[in-house]
Amino acid sequence: MSCPNNPARRGAPPRRAVQSRGFTLVELLVSIMLLAIVLVLLYGSFSQISSGTILLNARLEEQQESRLLLRMIADDLRAVQYFEQFARGEGNDSGLYVTRDFVGAREFSKLYFHANVASRFHRRVSPAADPGMHELAYWVEPSEEDRDLMVLKRREDFYLDEDMEEGGIVVTLSEGIETFRVELLAVGEQESELDDNWLEEWDSGERPATSRMPLALRLTLALRGAPESPIREEIVEINLQAALGVAQ
């Protein structure tokens, strides 16, 4: 006996299978836009990190270079000497000479001196034959390629001669010099007193015999770094022995 409530017998339509619905065009465009935003944010973060790393490395290299230069110059200046016996010869100068040199509208120190220090750049003579007494000079001048770019020069003459400003080997130490300044501290009118101000010029030949050399030197150096990097000056002060004024 059949049941009168059976849907199949009443002619009910069969159930349809559920069909899967795909992404619409709008949903696809929104997904692509969100993905693009995420990629842009990631690229911006990576770019900032990369730029910061490059700038940090440039600053560290600049700082390291300036400190190495300061160390070299300071080592030379610590060995400065007034060779009294040499200076007694006719036309001979010895000691330390510092002047202010104007390069365009900018001012730098220029110094030349005698020092009891081993040669740095002469390679044709063995260390055993090095006399240990040399003429040295430091100054700043425009680069040959770019007149606005200042370079630091070092001159080293292997032997002492009558002209302290000429001869020897000239080497470019660094470029992008912003500051190169030497200041000198001298004895005042009384030997126990110091001048109130640091001097910017020095001439051992015109100084009293008891104070041919300054008591101290202050060297300031600054290099041009990356465009975004501020100029940072490195300063070193060097105390000299009083005996340097009577070195033989």
First and final C-alpha spacing in the chain? 140
Give me the residues paired with residue 203 across strands: 97
Written as six digits, the tokens of 41 are 């944010």
Nearest to 200 by CA among 212, 217, 213: 217
pTM above 0.75, yes or no: no
DSSP, collapsed to helix, strand or coil, labels residue 67 as: helix
**Higher pLDDT among residues 33 and 57, named by residue:** 33
Percent above pLDDT 70 for the chain = 74
| Average pLDDT value for the chain | 79
Q: Residue 38: pLDDT above 60?
A: yes
Residues 175-189 have pLDDT tens digits of: 889 999 999 998 765
Amino acid present at 223: L
Residues 59-99 have pLDDT tens digits of: 656 667 778 888 899 999 999 989 888 888 888 889 999 99
CA 103 – CA 139 distance, rounded (Å): 10
HSE value, Cβ hemisphere, 13 Å, CA-based, for 133 = 14
Range of weakest confidence among 96-110, 177-191, 208-222: 177-191
**Higher pLDDT among residues 5 and 137, named by residue:** 137
**Higher pLDDT among residues 76 and 6, named by residue:** 76
**Higher pLDDT among residues 228 and 66, named by residue:** 66
On whether the CB atoms of residues 218 and 198 are closer than 8 A, the answer is yes
Q: What is the mean pLDDT of residues 127-155?
A: 89
- In this prediction, residue 196 carries a pLDDT of 60
- In this prediction, residue 241 carries a pLDDT of 56
Percent above pLDDT 90 for the chain = 27
Range of weakest confidence among 24-28, 37-41, 109-113: 24-28
CA 226 – CA 199 distance, rounded (Å): 32
- In this prediction, residue 173 carries a pLDDT of 92
Q: How confident is the model at residue 10 (pLDDT cuts 50, 70, 90)?
A: low
Q: How confident is the model at residue 200 (pLDDT cuts 50, 70, 90)?
A: very high
Give me the residues paired with residue 226 across strands: none
